[in-house]
Structure 1
């Protein structure tokens, strides 16, 4: 499956270049981007467009330090769920680890790995493929954005020891050293950040246990949704429905948007798989109902809300259609509902 990136990342590059006097329409045209492809706030697009946009944005602005300029203008809360999960973590080290874990929500074109010891922490970025100019800029951007996010979490200068790059930055070492406030090595084996361990055990500025648990639960569901993308649109839609039901967001338009497609495209995929959105919603509700009734003590009204029903009576009618009996009766003696 092709790697993708959240459209907000490309939006920040375009916004920064526009503020520098570049015509955004011309830049989109050079990078092969249609404006409509960036209109969905929750959409994703092929990572190939990211590399092309970096290349053309740097060439058009004449600023090879553009990655640090974009990173410096991006706040964690602008990154949605990813940013909120990272900001509300209890410690800086926890934020760092979650940033690595949830980074696929930003882009799955590369991966972060965190290596810790008693004295230091190394955060390593790996993105496979030839180091084209666009990929080089994208890699610099990944390190710069990760650093900017950690600075926001700690609310103070980040005590970086060293930054290592596989390539020689076109903008020169001085600009990067000033941004990271430490030495930058080139020709390294990996692209990575090195930090001392001790300061990372301190509390994060916006730590909030309750909100953190909420954001992480949603982030885990989104990660599962991305992973399910390899199993086809039907599986992805099932995963999204499981996430969306308790929040009351199971409308077809919302599900299609979160899958990065139009309602018409989602309907076409489901039709080709021999099902429909209504049938899929019914199936997921039935499976979730069975699990909640058998394995929890939730009242029927609470089960109904978890499944996106406005009233317990509507849930009861649906359950009778699935099981041929009431939810209360089925709960006392559960039987498989797969053939219902």
Structure 2
């Protein structure tokens, strides 16, 4: 997983959908513009790197010129587009269980984004966050993710479910007609999040292909595949990338959330890290210290804002942690180091393996 990948079946659906929108446009032409050989997409279970996926999206957007390309790609979603994760979702007992499986096994599909669950009175929000704030063509790709999530929900239940609401971080497009027609639900642009809002009753809708025995078998298989990927690619490298993305997305960097993103249990993640001579607390603290020094030296953010960027619930907790790591407060460290350009990168050596902050 290190470096990030996206499954070939999903990218194939992106390319084929884009090609179908313009007469004479071919999948080969899109791949050629992206600098990717057509033979790569013939692999049944391979993957492209995130950089290659960025180029595919850029080529598809440029050659179609369609601002609603993301909606069209999501519209043509099939279970096959999501490989093993799609099979797990299809056999779940109900929509809620299927969506929880989607959150858990998203990295088996691709590592460009994070799926989360949030709650409001009467609603469950299935959220979608790009793992990088500067994701190329972010709005279009979020459109595709939300559209695909709705199509999957309808495939799972065999119904024409419409969410209670669809929320977008993005500003409203010039013509929101394609969005309104597709989602058939109230749309809220500039909402501060990307999410499909479901009622509890909707999440209890039975899955039409529910199969308890097969679901349990597929679930074990998916967990095994995820664990093998974690072991093969190096737990430390994967965790460091995961923690960076969680912080960039504004999520608390807990071991439970990191393990979920990495498709592992907390215990297996700790064991894999121990095999490489480290721990979750040590890795998280080292990253937080390096980022704290960089942000404090830059001088653009106050201590409270730095604490939030590092995933601390309160500034006081950050101050205690920073003092434990360095022996001084963030304010004092900033006064001494902010004037030197090297201070922002002085966190090469991490803190000790102290208590979790």
TM-score by length of 1: 0.64
Question: Could you tell me how far apart the structure 2 residues matched to 1:35 and 1:116 are?
Answer: 43
Counterpart in the other structure of 2:5: 4
**Secondary structure at the counterpart of residue 115 of structure 1:** strand
2:75 to 68, 72, 76: 72
Question: Could you tell me how far apart the structure 1 residues matched to 2:128 and 2:208 are?
Answer: 25
Please list every run of 5 or more consecutive structure 2 residues that lacks an aligned counterpart in the other structure.
236-357
Counterpart in the other structure of 1:167: 170
Question: Could you tell me how far apart the structure 1 residues matched to 2:42 and 2:173 are?
Answer: 31
1:50 Cα deviation after fit: 2.1
Q: Superposed, which structure 2 residues align to 1:1-340 within 5 Å?
A: 1-20=2-21, 21=23, 22-116=25-119, 119-131=122-134, 134-168=137-171, 170=173, 172-231=175-234
Please list every run of 5 or more consecutive structure 1 residues that lacks an aligned counterpart in the other structure.
233-340
1:207 Cα deviation after fit: 0.6
The structure-2 alpha-carbon separation of the partners of 1:224 and 1:207, relative to structure 1 and needing over 3 Å to count, comes to: same
**Secondary structure at the counterpart of residue 90 of structure 1:** coil
Q: Is the contact made by 2:9 and 2:80 (CA closer than 8 Å) also made in structure 1?
A: no
Q: Is the contact made by 1:119 and 1:198 (CA closer than 8 Å) also made in structure 2?
A: no
Query: Radius of gyration: which is bigger?
Result: 1
1:78 Cα deviation after fit: 4.2
Question: Could you tell me how far apart the structure 1 residues matched to 2:43 and 2:220 are?
Answer: 23
Question: Could you tell me how far apart the structure 2 residues matched to 1:99 and 1:51 are?
Answer: 22
1:159 Cα deviation after fit: 3.0
Question: Could you tell me how far apart the structure 1 residues matched to 2:51 and 2:175 are?
Answer: 25
Provide the aligned length of Structure 1 versus Structure 2: 233
The structure-2 alpha-carbon separation of the partners of 1:123 and 1:9, relative to structure 1 and needing over 3 Å to count, comes to: same
Counterpart in the other structure of 1:277: none
The structure-2 alpha-carbon separation of the partners of 1:222 and 1:203, relative to structure 1 and needing over 3 Å to count, comes to: same
Q: Is the contact made by 2:94 and 2:206 (CA closer than 8 Å) also made in structure 1?
A: yes
